[in-house]
Chains A and B, each alone.
Chain A
Amino acid sequence: MRFVWFWTFWHWSREGFRAGSLLRGPLHGIAGHWDEWYRHEASPEDRRAVEDAGRSKAAQRAFVGWLARHWAREAEWRGSRPPARFVLGQLAHVAPFDRWPALEKYRASYGPAGVWAIVLAEGSAGESADVRRVEALVVPADADAAAPAVVAEGFEADDAALDAARRAALGMLGGTGLLAFLALWVAGGRRPYPRWLGALLALGWAAAAALAGWLLVGPDPGERLLPLVAALAALWAALVMTATGAAAAVVGGAWRLGARWRRRLEADQLRLRMSGGLRLIGGSAGVPFSLNALLAVYRANPAAASASWLWERFFRRMRAGAPGWAATGSVAADGRISPVVLESKLRACLRHEDISDVLTPWQRGARGRVIRQLADGLKETHGGRTAAALRVGGARLGFAAELPRLRGHRCRHLAQAMMSIGGLTSVPQVAVNVLALAVSAVMLAALPDLRGILRPPPAPAAVAPSSPSPYHLWVSLDTKHPEDFEVLLESRFWSNRRATVAAYGGDNASVRAELRLNRLDFQTVSDEEDGTVWIERRRRFLTRAFAPGERVGRYTLSYLTRLGHD
């Protein structure tokens, strides 16, 4: 077993904690514990082995590799594996590791940085050095109850500001912040469909809109009304089920995973590192701190993101794009972003070669026009930036380059920042959603009409009361859908009539059609009871009335006149 001495130290640390001689847990106190063990507890053999491990850079690298790949996976403390970067970062500052070249990069860095923060030095008007690298790491909670939830390394900040950033990150993992993020995604975010399916769905919505429009204003389809309406209803239902099913799956997965990550962030300690030794005044670095906190949670277990398409996509984009993104803004615990002083910060980003995008609060000074003006101003002042110099035959050639374009992303809420940095906003999806909402609104308004066509109510029977007035004929029907029927009178003695059916209240409340009887001037029979009353289906689509549907009832005039009076 290689590097047994490190295991010996680790076990001493764990036992010391259990026995009550060490206050801090083996993980958080690893630097101090190592210092103590190495000076006083290590055996001569252990010391020699440690010296051997540090004898050459290759040996040192071997130790680092072993610690990251083997020890970190086998060691365990309170159910969690120790994060290798954190352990190396702590050890890199204590003897003998503080003299090892192989640990040089761990002394100042936890590894890949996240979103840059823009923190102006005192008196600075906005220099590239004001754009500062931020690293974040989550570490299993320390056993020391006095340990803070957020540790600032390399800078000082108000506890309240750090806490707000942490709470905002927690909210984005589970709470109103996540709800806002999911709502933004539902409203206009990229979908997880393959491209062909997305195009098919868009076509489907367009087809549904066209079909609905045809039904509203096109020629009467006649006998084809039923298949057309069935096709429209089926298409709309399929589109709605697909859209809502996919959205529900994505939202559900994101919510569940977010809840797990939130529990982790609540229990763990967040360590933020930003070089410069600054004392931050105000909370204007809240946005990058919150975003990097999220990134740290993800990096602690990236494989978990596979449980949610949305989180996986967001973090994949963020991890890849973070080196080119800067952010500024004060963030509240609920995720809302407050304005900050901006001009110098934008200038700093414009001067920084690596920054292509900047997240800012929603304020006037962050508009694209303002950024372009600042960029033009810098170009005039500096005549462009010299990107490279080349020595050719003793002469030094400089290449003047355009200042890179800086894209500003204004945000009122951390959720908007996440949509921007995750590349989740999709203009085509917004258009499809608008179309889908319009079509769905029409379909929902027309649902009673569609039901009347697709699943017509049963044919009603004529019931009492009949009309108390001799001048009218009442055709009362036992139906709950008066709007779906019409009544016709065909007679050779009386004028033919067509009347709609409606619900009437009062003493003779009923669902009925009321027909005014007028004797024909040229009747062809003398039978005053000559007349057939037909019950007909009415077919409509919103404001459009189609040709009458089939007849579903036939009554004699004499029967209806006497109904209820036999």
Chain B
Amino acid sequence: MTSPVTSSSTISAKHRTLKRRRLAALAMLAACAGGAAAVAGCGDPNAVRVALQASPAAGRDVRRLDISGQIVGPPAGLHYKWFSVSGECDPQESTLPATSFRFAEGATRDRVSVEVWRDDRRVAQSEIDVRLDEQRARMMTQPGPDVRIEITQIPPYEPEGGDFTRAEIGGTVNGDVSPDYQVVIYARADAWYIQPNSHAFHAIRQGKTWGSWTHTGSSYAALLVRPGFDAYTRLDVLPQVGEYVLARSVVEGARR
């Protein structure tokens, strides 16, 4: 005979089964949530932005500009459509983000825009206002002032050069020198490199002298330029005198 005072009740197997099923459901839900999170976590990977840059075209046609697009986003599979207000883009459709623009006759300003397409969907667009460089056009037809530049303090001859070298360079300018003229210095290693920093312009001092420090190279060049000169950081061939370049001097490094 069982004890009449046994009061503990057994937990039903059904209740235990229900608990286990709840836990299994929790596991499945967790798996789905994890998968959903993994999928939902991916944003739009194909978003594209474009910024346009205009630069003078090579050659003496001041009415022509090279328009290039800077792409932020995956460029694969994109093609570009070019538009302008009055000028002409060539090509008007391209697979590369670049075109050549020409001002219309008599026009000095324009707006060039680009649409970026992936398949049949436009994914980005941008535009740039361009202006004809009239000053350059004038300079091409007018004779330049009578000015000369010399390098009197010649740095040493060190053909390898490099940004861990340093030497002093200086010189004079003569002639009809305007106070807003500036000097741009280059040193040659494997190419001509502007000195001592990118986009460095050197003012002309009182007494018509100029000076700075430079990295060393095999040769050194000094250009006397008008305001607005676009000084290339690196050059294969130095610009000739004309337009913005008023005078230049090129010397070999001083051999010890």
A and B touch in their complex, CB below 8 angstroms: yes
A residues near B (Cβ < 8 Å) are 61, 64-65, 68-69, 84-85, 88, 111, 192-194, 197, 201, 230, 233-238, 241-242, 245-246, 249, 299, 302-303, 305-306, 309, 312, 316, 319, 451, 454-456, 458-462, 466-472, 493, 517-519, 526-529, 535, 550-556, 558-559, 561-562, 565
Other A-B pairs beyond A242-B31, A517-B234, 6, CB < 8 Å: A245-B30, A458-B43, A459-B49, A471-B193, A552-B74, A553-B71
Decide yes or no whether B86 CB sits under 8 A from chain A: no
Q: Give the shortest distance, in Å, between B202 (CB) and chain A (any CB).
A: 15
B23–A565 CB distance below 8 A: no
A467–B236 CB distance below 8 A: no
Please, which residue of chain B has its CB at the minimum distance from the CB of A233? B38
> Given known contacts A111-B3, A302-B9, A309-B19, is B34 in contact with A237 (CB within 8 Å)?
yes
B48-84 residues at the A interface, CB under 8 angstroms: 49, 51, 53, 55, 58, 68-76
Decide yes or no whether B155 CB sits under 8 A from chain A: no
> Given known contacts A234-B38, A306-B11, is B24 in contact with A558 (CB within 8 Å)?
no
**Option from A64, A230, A236, A556 in Cβ contact (under 8 Å) with B53:** A556
How far is A319 from B45 in the complex, measured between Cα atoms in Å?
Answer: 61
B234–A558 CB distance below 8 A: no
**Option from A233, A236, A459 in Cβ contact (under 8 Å) with B73:** A459
B74–A470 CB distance below 8 A: no
B42–A454 CB distance below 8 A: yes
Give the chain A neighbours of B161 by CB distance below 8 A: 471
How far is A552 from B76 in the complex, measured between Cα atoms in Å?
Answer: 9
Which 3 pairs show the lowest CB-CB distances between chains A and B?
A: A237-B34, A241-B30, A302-B8
Q: Give the shortest distance, in Å, between B170 (CB) and chain A (any CB).
A: 19
B71–A554 CB distance below 8 A: yes
Give the chain B neighbours of A455 by CB distance below 8 A: 41-43
Please, which residue of chain B has its CB at the minimum distance from the CB of A451? B41
Q: Give the shortest distance, in Å, between A477 (CB) and chain B (any CB).
A: 10
A64–B198 CB distance below 8 A: no
Give the chain B neighbours of A235 by CB distance below 8 A: 31, 34
B residues near A (Cβ < 8 Å) are 3-9, 11, 15, 19-20, 23-24, 26-27, 30-31, 33-35, 37-39, 41-43, 45, 47, 49, 51, 53, 55, 58, 68-76, 97-98, 161-163, 189-191, 193-195, 197-199, 215, 232-237
Give the chain A neighbours of B26 by CB distance below 8 A: 242, 245-246, 249
Please, which residue of chain A has its CB at the minimum distance from the CB of B230? A562
How far is A197 from B24 in the complex, measured between Cα atoms in Å?
Answer: 7
> Given known contacts A192-B23, A470-B195, is B30 in contact with A242 (CB within 8 Å)?
yes
How far is A455 from B37 in the complex, measured between Cα atoms in Å?
Answer: 10
**Option from A242, A312, A471, A554 in Cβ contact (under 8 Å) with B75:** A554
Q: Give the shortest distance, in Å, between A113 (CB) and chain B (any CB).
A: 13
A550–B31 CB distance below 8 A: no
B30–A469 CB distance below 8 A: no
How far is A493 from B190 in the complex, measured between Cα atoms in Å?
Answer: 11
B53–A85 CB distance below 8 A: no
Q: Give the shortest distance, in Å, between A299 (CB) and chain B (any CB).
A: 6
B163–A471 CB distance below 8 A: yes
Give the chain B neighbours of A68 by CB distance below 8 A: 4-5, 7
How far is A466 from B194 in the complex, measured between Cα atoms in Å?
Answer: 14
B191–A528 CB distance below 8 A: yes
**Option from A230, A303, A451, A554 in Cβ contact (under 8 Å) with B39:** A230
**Option from A461, A468, A470 in Cβ contact (under 8 Å) with B234:** A470
How far is A69 from B7 in the complex, measured between Cα atoms in Å?
Answer: 9
A559–B53 CB distance below 8 A: yes
How far is A468 from B43 in the complex, measured between Cα atoms in Å?
Answer: 36
A192–B19 CB distance below 8 A: yes
Please, which residue of chain B has its CB at the minimum distance from the CB of A520? B190
A459–B72 CB distance below 8 A: yes
B11–A468 CB distance below 8 A: no
A459–B74 CB distance below 8 A: yes
How far is A519 from B41 in the complex, measured between Cα atoms in Å?
Answer: 43
Q: Give the shortest distance, in Å, between B161 (CB) and chain A (any CB).
A: 8
Interface centre among B41, B45, B47, B234 (most CB of A within 10 A): B234
Please, which residue of chain B has its CB at the minimum distance from the CB of A559? B53
B38–A454 CB distance below 8 A: yes
> Given known contacts A192-B23, A518-B190, A552-B73, is B68 in contact with A559 (CB within 8 Å)?
yes
Give the chain A neighbours of B5 by CB distance below 8 A: 64, 68, 84-85, 88, 111
Give the chain B neighbours of A459 by CB distance below 8 A: 47, 49, 72-74
B8–A299 CB distance below 8 A: yes
A193–B11 CB distance below 8 A: no
Q: Give the shortest distance, in Å, between B158 (CB) and chain A (any CB).
A: 14
Q: Give the shortest distance, in Å, between A135 (CB) and chain B (any CB).
A: 13
Give the chain B neighbours of A305 by CB distance below 8 A: 11
**Option from A246, A312, A462, A471 in Cβ contact (under 8 Å) with B70:** A462
B23–A561 CB distance below 8 A: no
How far is A472 from B215 in the complex, measured between Cα atoms in Å?
Answer: 13
Give the chain A neighbours of B35 by CB distance below 8 A: 230, 234, 238
B11–A312 CB distance below 8 A: yes
Please, which residue of chain B has its CB at the minimum distance from the CB of A457? B43
Q: Give the shortest distance, in Å, between B125 (CB) and chain A (any CB).
A: 16
Give the chain B neighbours of A528 by CB distance below 8 A: 191, 232, 234-236
Q: Give the shortest distance, in Å, between A297 (CB) and chain B (any CB).
A: 12
B30–A565 CB distance below 8 A: no
A237–B194 CB distance below 8 A: no
What would 24 A/B residue contacts be, using CB atoms closer than 8 Å? A65-B4, A84-B4, A111-B6, A193-B20, A197-B23, A233-B38, A234-B34, A237-B38, A246-B23, A299-B7, A302-B7, A303-B8, A303-B11, A312-B11, A456-B43, A458-B47, A526-B236, A529-B232, A551-B76, A552-B73, A552-B74, A554-B70, A556-B53, A559-B68
Q: Give the shortest distance, in Å, between A107 (CB) and chain B (any CB).
A: 14
Give the chain B neighbours of A468 by CB distance below 8 A: 197-198
**Option from B24, B43, B73, B199 in Cβ contact (under 8 Å) with A553:** B73
A519–B191 CB distance below 8 A: yes
Give the chain A neighbours of B58 by CB distance below 8 A: 527
**Option from A193, A230, A306, A309 in Cβ contact (under 8 Å) with B24:** A193
How far is A561 from B232 in the complex, measured between Cα atoms in Å?
Answer: 9
Please, which residue of chain A has its CB at the minimum distance from the CB of B58? A527
A194–B20 CB distance below 8 A: yes
A238–B31 CB distance below 8 A: yes
How far is A451 from B43 in the complex, measured between Cα atoms in Å?
Answer: 11
Interface centre among B34, B47, B51, B197 (most CB of A within 10 A): B34
Q: Give the shortest distance, in Å, between A554 (CB) and chain B (any CB).
A: 4
